[in-house]
Structure 1
Amino acid sequence: MTSSITRPGGGPAVTVRRATAGDARRLTRLVRGSRAYEGPYAGMVAGYRVGPDYIEAHRVFVATGATGGADERVLGFYSLLLAPPELDLMFVANDAQGLGIGRLLVAHMRAEAATAGLDHVRVVSHPPAEGFYRSVGALRTGTDAAHPPAVAWDRPELVFPISPSV
């Protein structure tokens, strides 16, 4: 499924498409450069890699926008795991936050989940992102305890209810 929206103010359209192995480096740069993971959270993404093997094994979707010419700029992406159903990754480029990209990605993820026959999607959230997830319909279900040394802090656990596809 591919989705497209026109940005407010008549800006270039944003397209959500299935990621390809060729997107791996750009997605890795987006994760490692995320301002949401500065300070105490930096270690979690310092060596993180979104490899071609990950992209091929999972449902990874990327939001892109034209930057002029034929080039497309990666504005954000997400990864949906089906078994068990989980939003594994979701990142929006630092300078694209506040433009509706995250909301577009969540709407796309929910449609993908419904098409796959899922009735919910779990997300273990980065603590600063909990408010965003709740604002787009996720419900808090608990807390995922810290798992040092990889994750040294507790994280909110949420679930997106999914309406079945008709």
Structure 2
Amino acid sequence: MASLWRCSVGILIRPARLDEASVLTDLALRSKAYWGYDAQFLESCREELTLRAGELSVRRATVAEQDGGIVGFTTLEGDPPQGVLGMMFVDPDAIGKGIGRLLFQHAVATAPTLGFTQFTIDADPNAEPFYEAMGAVPVGVVPSGSIPGRTLTQLLRSIPG
């Protein structure tokens, strides 16, 4: 997802840089905490929400930048034709301000250039309504990668061809 998008609301969407891995990890944990999860839950999620510099290009990490700071990011993972929106997090101060919508729209617009015809999303329950509003449909449940016994709704977003 190497394209740059400059949006009218002052948001630049661009590929993540190697030196931003720890910033993105911190943002993911703060964004997850926004939904009221306790410290033990967040610690259980830490490994799954950790991004390493060497993974950023393979996971196709893209950031939303505003006024020089990162306000959100996504990863578009997998091998064509089936992708995975592996991570999508927005800074708590920016939730509800359209950043997630811009990031999602960027993923949808970029996916065909990577050979994807669809992608799945293993959604946190708090994010399910957002993904459904963005055109994703529930297709099943999958086990959480962090919390034993917890399941997540898996959604599918087809990419217009």
What's the TM-score, normalizing by structure 1?
A: 0.84
How many residues matched? 153
Consecutive unaligned residues of structure 2, counting only runs of 5 or more, are none
Contact 1:122/1:158, CA 8 A, preserved across alignment? yes
**Helix, strand or coil for the counterpart of 1:128?**
coil
C-alpha spacing 1:65/1:117, structure 2 compared with 1 (3 Å): same
What is the alpha-carbon distance in structure 1 between the residues aligned to residue 78 and residue 4 of structure 2? 19
Q: What RMSD, in angstroms, separates the aligned Cα atoms of the two structures?
A: 1.8
1:46 and 2:46 are equivalent in the alignment = yes
Segments ≥4 residues shifted beyond 4 Å: none
1:159 and 2:160 are equivalent in the alignment = no
Contact 2:58/2:77, CA 8 A, preserved across alignment? no
Q: How does 1:57-136 map to 2 (within 5 A)?
A: 57-66=58-67, 72-83=68-79, 84-136=82-134
Taking CA–CA contacts closer than 8 Å with sequence separation of 6 or more, which of the two structures ends up with the larger relative contact order? 2
What is the alpha-carbon distance in structure 1 between the residues aligned to residue 118 and residue 26 of structure 2? 29
Contact 1:61/1:79, CA 8 A, preserved across alignment? yes
Task: Give 1:146 shift.
Answer: 4.7
Task: Give 1:117 shift.
Answer: 2.1
What's the TM-score, normalizing by structure 2?
A: 0.87
Contact 2:45/2:147, CA 8 A, preserved across alignment? no
Contact 1:37/1:45, CA 8 A, preserved across alignment? no
Question: Which segment drifts farther, 27-36 or 95-104?
Answer: 27-36
Q: Percent identity?
A: 27
What is the alpha-carbon distance in structure 2 between the residues aligned to residue 106 and residue 46 of structure 1? 23
Consecutive unaligned residues of structure 1, counting only runs of 5 or more, are 8-12, 67-71
Task: Give the corresponding residue for 2:35.
Answer: 36
Task: Give 1:31 shift.
Answer: 1.2
Q: What is the identity, as a one-letter code, of the residue corresponding to 1:161? A: S
